[in-house]
Chains A and B, each alone.
Chain A
Protein backbone atom coordinates (compact mmCIF):
# COMPACT_ATOMS: atom_id res chain seq x y z
CA UNK A 1 0.00 0.00 0.00
CA UNK A 2 1.65 3.22 -1.12
CA UNK A 3 0.04 5.28 1.63
CA UNK A 4 1.79 3.34 4.34
CA UNK A 5 4.83 5.29 5.34
CA UNK A 6 3.42 8.60 4.18
CA UNK A 7 1.17 8.95 7.18
CA UNK A 8 0.86 7.30 10.55
CA UNK A 9 -2.40 7.12 12.41
CA UNK A 10 -2.55 7.98 16.09
CA UNK A 11 -5.28 8.03 18.68
CA UNK A 12 -5.22 10.88 21.20
CA UNK A 13 -5.47 10.35 24.93
CA UNK A 14 -5.54 13.23 27.39
CA UNK A 15 -7.03 16.68 27.29
CA UNK A 16 -4.14 19.07 26.86
CA UNK A 17 -4.92 19.75 23.19
CA UNK A 18 -8.55 20.64 23.71
CA UNK A 19 -10.53 22.23 22.20
CA UNK A 20 -8.92 21.09 18.93
CA UNK A 21 -8.23 17.47 19.86
CA UNK A 22 -10.48 15.60 22.22
CA UNK A 23 -9.48 12.38 23.94
CA UNK A 24 -10.27 9.55 21.53
CA UNK A 25 -9.78 11.63 18.38
CA UNK A 26 -7.65 10.10 15.67
CA UNK A 27 -5.09 12.02 13.65
CA UNK A 28 -2.74 11.40 10.76
CA UNK A 29 0.89 12.33 11.12
CA UNK A 30 3.45 12.96 8.40
CA UNK A 31 6.65 11.31 9.66
CA UNK A 32 8.71 12.91 6.89
CA UNK A 33 7.60 16.48 7.53
CA UNK A 34 10.79 17.55 9.25
CA UNK A 35 13.30 15.60 7.26
CA UNK A 36 14.40 18.64 5.30
CA UNK A 37 13.05 21.54 7.30
CA UNK A 38 12.64 22.39 10.97
CA UNK A 39 9.28 22.59 12.72
CA UNK A 40 7.54 25.93 12.59
CA UNK A 41 5.67 27.80 15.28
CA UNK A 42 2.01 26.86 15.38
CA UNK A 43 2.38 23.40 13.89
CA UNK A 44 1.05 20.44 15.81
CA UNK A 45 3.60 17.70 16.22
CA UNK A 46 4.06 14.26 17.67
CA UNK A 47 7.22 13.94 19.73
CA UNK A 48 8.92 11.58 22.07
CA UNK A 49 8.70 12.83 25.63
CA UNK A 50 12.17 14.11 26.65
CA UNK A 51 12.09 12.26 29.97
CA UNK A 52 9.98 9.21 29.13
CA UNK A 53 11.28 7.52 26.02
CA UNK A 54 8.26 5.28 25.53
CA UNK A 55 5.74 8.11 25.79
CA UNK A 56 4.71 9.91 22.62
CA UNK A 57 3.05 13.26 23.02
CA UNK A 58 1.04 15.54 20.77
CA UNK A 59 1.62 19.26 21.26
CA UNK A 60 1.77 22.55 19.44
CA UNK A 61 5.12 24.18 18.64
CA UNK A 62 5.29 27.38 20.69
CA UNK A 63 8.86 28.37 20.00
CA UNK A 64 11.72 27.23 17.81
CA UNK A 65 15.07 28.04 19.39
CA UNK A 66 18.27 28.85 17.64
CA UNK A 67 19.87 25.71 19.07
CA UNK A 68 17.30 23.56 17.25
CA UNK A 69 15.21 22.71 20.29
CA UNK A 70 11.50 23.41 20.35
CA UNK A 71 9.19 24.45 23.10
CA UNK A 72 5.99 22.48 22.87
CA UNK A 73 2.79 23.31 24.67
CA UNK A 74 -0.79 22.20 24.86
CA UNK A 75 -3.70 24.24 23.56
CA UNK A 76 -5.82 23.74 26.64
CA UNK A 77 -5.95 27.04 28.57
CA UNK A 78 -6.47 25.18 31.86
CA UNK A 79 -2.96 25.01 33.30
CA UNK A 80 -3.83 21.82 35.13
CA UNK A 81 -4.23 20.12 31.77
CA UNK A 82 -1.08 21.35 30.17
CA UNK A 83 2.56 21.82 30.85
CA UNK A 84 5.36 22.90 28.57
CA UNK A 85 8.16 20.72 27.30
CA UNK A 86 11.42 21.66 25.69
CA UNK A 87 12.39 18.96 23.22
CA UNK A 88 15.28 18.46 20.84
CA UNK A 89 14.30 18.46 17.18
CA UNK A 90 15.45 14.84 16.95
CA UNK A 91 12.63 13.84 19.30
CA UNK A 92 9.96 15.26 17.00
CA UNK A 93 8.51 12.38 15.06
CA UNK A 94 6.25 14.19 12.64
CA UNK A 95 3.61 16.79 11.93
CA UNK A 96 -0.12 16.28 12.44
CA UNK A 97 -1.71 16.82 9.03
CA UNK A 98 -5.32 15.87 9.58
CA UNK A 99 -7.86 14.91 12.16
CA UNK A 100 -10.72 12.48 11.74
CA UNK A 101 -14.00 13.95 12.83
CA UNK A 102 -15.47 12.03 15.75
CA UNK A 103 -17.65 9.13 14.59
Chain B
Protein backbone atom coordinates (compact mmCIF):
# COMPACT_ATOMS: atom_id res chain seq x y z
CA UNK B 1 0.00 0.00 0.00
CA UNK B 2 1.35 3.35 -0.98
CA UNK B 3 2.42 5.82 1.65
CA UNK B 4 0.06 8.44 0.26
CA UNK B 5 -2.83 6.10 0.91
CA UNK B 6 -1.87 5.90 4.58
CA UNK B 7 -1.50 9.65 4.81
CA UNK B 8 -4.90 10.11 3.22
CA UNK B 9 -6.48 7.81 5.79
CA UNK B 10 -5.36 10.14 8.57
CA UNK B 11 -7.96 12.64 7.46
CA UNK B 12 -11.68 12.04 7.56
CA UNK B 13 -13.22 11.94 4.11
CA UNK B 14 -16.58 13.24 3.12
CA UNK B 15 -16.05 16.93 2.38
CA UNK B 16 -16.99 17.82 -1.15
CA UNK B 17 -15.59 20.87 -2.85
CA UNK B 18 -16.97 22.02 -6.14
CA UNK B 19 -14.78 23.08 -9.03
CA UNK B 20 -17.79 24.85 -10.43
CA UNK B 21 -18.39 28.49 -9.75
CA UNK B 22 -22.11 28.69 -10.03
CA UNK B 23 -23.11 25.24 -8.99
CA UNK B 24 -24.53 23.67 -12.12
CA UNK B 25 -22.33 25.75 -14.38
CA UNK B 26 -21.32 25.58 -17.98
CA UNK B 27 -24.86 25.98 -19.23
CA UNK B 28 -24.98 29.28 -21.04
CA UNK B 29 -27.26 30.03 -23.93
CA UNK B 30 -28.40 33.39 -25.33
CA UNK B 31 -31.76 31.72 -25.94
CA UNK B 32 -32.93 32.66 -22.44
CA UNK B 33 -32.39 36.36 -23.19
CA UNK B 34 -34.02 35.95 -26.58
CA UNK B 35 -37.16 34.39 -25.08
CA UNK B 36 -37.50 37.24 -22.57
CA UNK B 37 -36.94 39.86 -25.28
CA UNK B 38 -39.50 38.18 -27.48
CA UNK B 39 -42.02 38.40 -24.66
CA UNK B 40 -41.27 42.12 -24.41
CA UNK B 41 -41.84 42.58 -28.14
CA UNK B 42 -45.10 40.64 -27.95
CA UNK B 43 -46.37 42.61 -24.94
CA UNK B 44 -45.39 45.89 -26.59
CA UNK B 45 -47.44 44.99 -29.66
CA UNK B 46 -50.40 43.97 -27.49
CA UNK B 47 -50.24 47.22 -25.52
CA UNK B 48 -50.14 49.25 -28.74
CA UNK B 49 -53.14 47.30 -30.08
CA UNK B 50 -55.30 48.27 -27.10
CA UNK B 51 -57.40 51.39 -27.03
CA UNK B 52 -56.78 52.89 -23.61
CA UNK B 53 -59.48 55.47 -24.22
CA UNK B 54 -62.37 53.00 -24.28
CA UNK B 55 -62.79 53.34 -20.53
CA UNK B 56 -63.65 49.70 -19.82
CA UNK B 57 -62.40 47.72 -16.88
CA UNK B 58 -61.42 44.92 -19.23
CA UNK B 59 -59.06 47.18 -21.16
CA UNK B 60 -57.61 48.67 -18.00
CA UNK B 61 -57.04 45.19 -16.66
CA UNK B 62 -55.37 43.96 -19.85
CA UNK B 63 -53.22 47.05 -20.05
CA UNK B 64 -52.01 46.60 -16.47
CA UNK B 65 -51.20 42.97 -17.06
CA UNK B 66 -49.35 43.59 -20.32
CA UNK B 67 -47.31 46.38 -18.76
CA UNK B 68 -46.41 44.24 -15.74
CA UNK B 69 -45.28 41.35 -17.93
CA UNK B 70 -43.37 43.64 -20.28
CA UNK B 71 -41.43 45.21 -17.43
CA UNK B 72 -40.71 41.89 -15.78
CA UNK B 73 -39.48 40.28 -18.99
CA UNK B 74 -37.38 43.32 -19.92
CA UNK B 75 -35.62 43.07 -16.59
CA UNK B 76 -35.16 39.34 -17.05
CA UNK B 77 -33.68 39.88 -20.52
CA UNK B 78 -31.19 42.33 -19.05
CA UNK B 79 -30.22 39.93 -16.26
CA UNK B 80 -29.70 37.08 -18.72
CA UNK B 81 -27.53 39.30 -20.92
CA UNK B 82 -25.44 40.49 -17.98
CA UNK B 83 -24.79 36.91 -16.88
CA UNK B 84 -23.60 36.00 -20.35
CA UNK B 85 -21.49 39.12 -20.62
CA UNK B 86 -19.79 38.94 -17.25
CA UNK B 87 -19.67 35.19 -16.61
CA UNK B 88 -19.33 33.50 -19.97
CA UNK B 89 -17.32 35.88 -22.12
CA UNK B 90 -13.59 36.07 -21.48
CA UNK B 91 -10.83 38.46 -22.63
CA UNK B 92 -9.83 36.22 -25.53
CA UNK B 93 -13.37 36.56 -26.90
CA UNK B 94 -12.91 40.32 -26.90
CA UNK B 95 -9.95 39.87 -29.22
CA UNK B 96 -12.14 37.78 -31.49
CA UNK B 97 -15.03 40.27 -31.31
CA UNK B 98 -13.76 43.78 -30.48
CA UNK B 99 -17.35 45.08 -30.57
CA UNK B 100 -18.39 42.65 -27.81
CA UNK B 101 -18.58 45.18 -24.97
CA UNK B 102 -20.34 47.78 -27.07
CA UNK B 103 -22.89 45.23 -28.26
CA UNK B 104 -23.73 44.11 -24.73
CA UNK B 105 -23.78 47.63 -23.36
CA UNK B 106 -26.22 48.78 -26.03
CA UNK B 107 -28.34 45.66 -25.61
CA UNK B 108 -28.54 46.24 -21.85
CA UNK B 109 -29.52 49.88 -22.50
CA UNK B 110 -32.24 48.67 -24.87
CA UNK B 111 -33.58 46.39 -22.12
CA UNK B 112 -34.00 49.48 -19.95
CA UNK B 113 -35.62 51.44 -22.78
CA UNK B 114 -38.15 48.75 -23.66
CA UNK B 115 -39.03 48.38 -20.00
CA UNK B 116 -39.74 52.07 -19.49
CA UNK B 117 -41.22 52.91 -22.89
CA UNK B 118 -43.75 51.33 -25.23
CA UNK B 119 -41.54 51.15 -28.28
CA UNK B 120 -41.91 48.42 -30.84
CA UNK B 121 -38.93 49.86 -32.70
CA UNK B 122 -36.66 49.48 -29.67
CA UNK B 123 -38.02 46.02 -28.89
CA UNK B 124 -37.07 45.02 -32.42
CA UNK B 125 -33.64 46.61 -32.01
CA UNK B 126 -33.19 44.53 -28.86
CA UNK B 127 -34.07 41.36 -30.77
CA UNK B 128 -31.50 42.29 -33.42
CA UNK B 129 -28.85 42.87 -30.75
CA UNK B 130 -29.61 39.48 -29.20
CA UNK B 131 -29.29 37.82 -32.59
CA UNK B 132 -25.84 39.41 -32.92
CA UNK B 133 -24.94 38.09 -29.45
CA UNK B 134 -26.25 34.66 -30.44
CA UNK B 135 -23.93 34.67 -33.45
CA UNK B 136 -20.90 35.74 -31.41
CA UNK B 137 -21.65 33.31 -28.61
CA UNK B 138 -21.86 30.23 -30.80
CA UNK B 139 -18.85 31.36 -32.86
CA UNK B 140 -16.74 31.33 -29.68
CA UNK B 141 -17.77 27.71 -29.21
CA UNK B 142 -17.04 26.84 -32.83
CA UNK B 143 -20.56 25.64 -33.31
CA UNK B 144 -23.11 26.54 -35.94
CA UNK B 145 -26.41 27.06 -34.18
CA UNK B 146 -29.03 28.72 -36.32
CA UNK B 147 -30.97 31.55 -34.77
CA UNK B 148 -34.71 31.20 -34.44
CA UNK B 149 -37.59 32.87 -32.69
CA UNK B 150 -40.59 31.29 -31.03
CA UNK B 151 -43.17 33.56 -32.58
Contact = CB atoms under 8 A, between A and B. Distances in A.
Contact of A57 (B7, B11, B21): B21
Contact of A26 (B8, B25, B89, B90): B8
A11 B11 CA distance: 12
A94 B4 CA distance: 21
B17 A27 contact: yes
Contacts of A79: 88-90, 93, 140
Nearest to A78: B26
Given A9-B8, A100-B4, A83 B22 contact: yes
B18 A14 contact: yes
A80 B19 CA distance: 12
A80 B15 contact: no
Interface string B87-120: 1111001000000000000000000000000000
Interface in A56-80: 56-59, 72-74, 79-80
Contacts of B141: 80
B10 interface: yes
A11 B13 contact: yes
B14 to A, nearest CB: 8
B23 interface: yes
Given A80-B141, A101-B4, A21 B89 contact: no
Contact of A15 (B4, B17, B19, B93): B19
Interface of B: 4-5, 7-8, 10-13, 15-23, 25-26, 28, 86-90, 93, 140-141
User: What 3 pairs across the A-B complex have the smallest Cβ distances?
Assistant: A14-B19, A9-B11, A10-B17
Interface of A: 1, 3-4, 7-18, 21, 23, 26-29, 46, 49, 51-52, 55-59, 72-74, 79-85, 100-101, 103
